[in-house]
Structure 1
Amino acid sequence: MYKFVIVLLSAVLFAFVLARPAEEQSGVATSPAVTTTTTPATILKQIDVTNPDGSYNSSYETSNGIKVENAGYLKKILVPKQESTDGQVIEEHEELVLVQTGLYSYSDPEGNIITLHYVADENGFQPQGDHLPVPPV
Structure 2
Amino acid sequence: MKYAIVFAALFAVALAAPLDDPANAQVLRYDNDNIGVDGYNFAVETSDGKSHQESGKVKNLGPDDTPITVTGSFRYTGDDGQVYEVTYTADENGFQPSGAHIPQA
Bin the TM-score by the shorter chain.
0.7 to 0.9
- From 51, 67, 72, the counterpart of 1:102: 72
Instruction: Name the SS of the counterpart of 1:58 in structure 2.
Output: strand
Q: Report deviation, 1:53.
A: 3.5
Match of 2:31 in 1: 47
Runs of at least 4 residues of structure 1 off by over 2 A? 35-38, 49-54
Aligned partners of 2:36, 2:103: CA distance in 1, in Å? 39
TM-score (norm 1): 0.57
Match of 2:41 in 1: 57
Q: 1:99 to 1:63 in 2, by over 3 A?
A: same
Match of 1:86 in 2: none
Match of 1:133 in 2: 103
- From 72, 81, 85, the counterpart of 2:56: 72
Unaligned runs of 5+ in 1: 1-31, 79-92
Instruction: Name the SS of the counterpart of 1:76 in structure 2.
Output: coil
Aligned partners of 1:105, 1:126: CA distance in 2, in Å? 16
Question: RMSD of the TM alignment (CA)?
Answer: 2.2
The one of the two structures with greater contact order (alpha-carbon pairs below 8 A, sep at least 6) is 2
How many residue pairs end up in the alignment? 89
Aligned partners of 1:113, 1:52: CA distance in 2, in Å? 33
TM-score (norm 2): 0.73
Q: 1:94 to 1:36 in 2, by over 3 A?
A: farther
Match of 1:115 in 2: 85
Q: Which moved more, 1:114-123 or 1:36-45?
A: 36-45
Match of 1:16 in 2: none
Aligned partners of 1:54, 1:36: CA distance in 2, in Å? 46
